[in-house]
Amino acid sequence: MQCSRGLEREGFLIDKAFLGGGVYSLRFETQELLPAILPGQFFMVGPHRWKSDPFLLRPFAVVDGSENGVEFLMKVVGRGTKDIVSCERGTSFRLRGPLGNGVFTATRGRSLALVAGGIGVAPLLCAWKFHSDVISSFVFGVSNRDWAGVADWASSKVSGLTVASDDGSLGCKGTAPDVLKKEGDFIDEIWACGPVPMLKAVYETFGGKSLIMASLESRMGCGIGGCHSCTVKTQRGMLKVCHDGPVFDLSEVFLDELI
């Protein structure tokens, strides 16, 4: 068994399911207790065997967590994610977290809707688990029916999830912000996570009327504020996604500078 180092614990991959479209759900179990996890927080994740290879741990939002386990949703996009999902059950992992100080926090009495795009559904599933009693609508937008397995999996966790696809091949036709707009209700606050074009569309559609809190992605080296690789330009200066976020008030972020 490996020793824990500060924020880092050893976790064992106990469950892995392929959901289609290059997306997997992965569940880890830890022997040491994990601190309480807040919605929007993330872990830096990688198998222990990466020690012998110049691999940095990769950031993933928590979908669900408890004191002795954590679940992630991972889309294979490159070398790191490909290697992680190839691991067998029982593989020993480094789990650094939970990380992030900017999280999703609900204000009682304010109407709230969630808008997810693609793999951005991950942190919003965690937010739903915490705050489903005050969330009036949750729209999950995807490109096409390649995401059917992920949509079914998400629907099993979220009652009343609205699925929308760009080409109309899954759920209703349209982008997630358009579908939420068609629902027509005034919303005090929107929580969003997804690709930058979707975040821009959410801001163009609802900015100035609703408070939009978005979980941002950036390339991360350390996840703990030490390497400056994850900075984003905001009205408050350059902020670190890992330390100051990952959840930000979107009106403060220079969206055109996001990659």
Ligand X SMILES: Cc1cc2nc3c(=O)[nH]c(=O)nc-3n(C[C@H](O)[C@H](O)[C@H](O)COP(=O)(O)OP(=O)(O)OC[C@H]3O[C@@H](n4cnc5c(N)ncnc54)[C@H](O)[C@@H]3O)c2cc1C
DSSP string, 174-241: S-HHHHHHHH----SEEEEES-HHHHHHHHHHHBTTBEEEEE-----SSSSSSS-TTEEEETTEEEEH
What the block records as the tokens of 246 is 């990952």
**202/208 Cα distance (integer angstroms):** 11
Contact status, residue 185 vs residue 111, Cβ threshold 8 Å: yes
Q: Which is nearer to ligand X, 38 or 61 (CB)?
A: 61
Give the one residue of 13, 26, 37, 61 binding ligand X; rule: CB under 6 A: 61
Does the annotation place 126 within a ligand binding site?
no
Looking up tokens 């009036």 gives: 136
Q: Is 94 in the site for ligand X (CB under 6 A)?
A: no
Q: Which is nearer to ligand FES, 57 or 154 (CB)?
A: 57
Q: Is 81 in the site for ligand X (CB under 6 A)?
A: yes
Give me the 31-50 binding string for ligand X, x by CB under 6 A, dash otherwise: -----------x--------
Q: Is 79 in the site for ligand X (CB under 6 A)?
A: yes
Q: Which is nearer to ligand X, 56 or 172 (CB)?
A: 56
Q: Which residues bind ligand FES (CB under 6 A)?
A: 220-223, 225-230, 240, 242
Q: How far is the CB of 185 from ligand X (least distance, A)?
A: 28
What the block records as the tokens of 100 is 């992030």
Q: Which does 227 bind (CB under 5 to 8 A by kind): ligand X, ligand FES, none?
A: ligand FES
DSSP code of 252?
Answer: G
Does the annotation place 222 within a ligand binding site?
yes
Q: How far is the CB of 116 from ligand FES (least distance, A)?
A: 23
Q: Which does 74 bind (CB under 5 to 8 A by kind): ligand X, ligand FES, none?
A: ligand X
Q: How far is the CB of 6 from ligand FES (least distance, A)?
A: 15
3-state secondary structure 111-134: CEEEEEEHHHHHHHHHHHHHHHHH
**116/225 Cα distance (integer angstroms):** 26
What the block records as the tokens of 38 is 């807040």
Distances (CA, A) of 149 to 42, 75, 163: 23, 13, 12
Does the annotation place 87 within a ligand binding site?
no
Does the annotation place 80 within a ligand binding site?
yes
Give the one residue of 19, 26, 34, 122 binding ligand X; rule: CB under 6 A: 122
**244/137 Cα distance (integer angstroms):** 27
Q: Which is nearer to ligand X, 118 or 171 (CB)?
A: 118
Residue type, 122: A
Q: Is 218 in the site for ligand X (CB under 6 A)?
A: yes
Binding-site members for [2Fe-2S] cluster are 222, 227, 230, 242
What is the contact surface with ligand X in residues (CB under 6 A)?
42, 58-61, 72-75, 77-81, 119, 122, 217-220, 241, 246
Binding-site members for FAD are 80-81
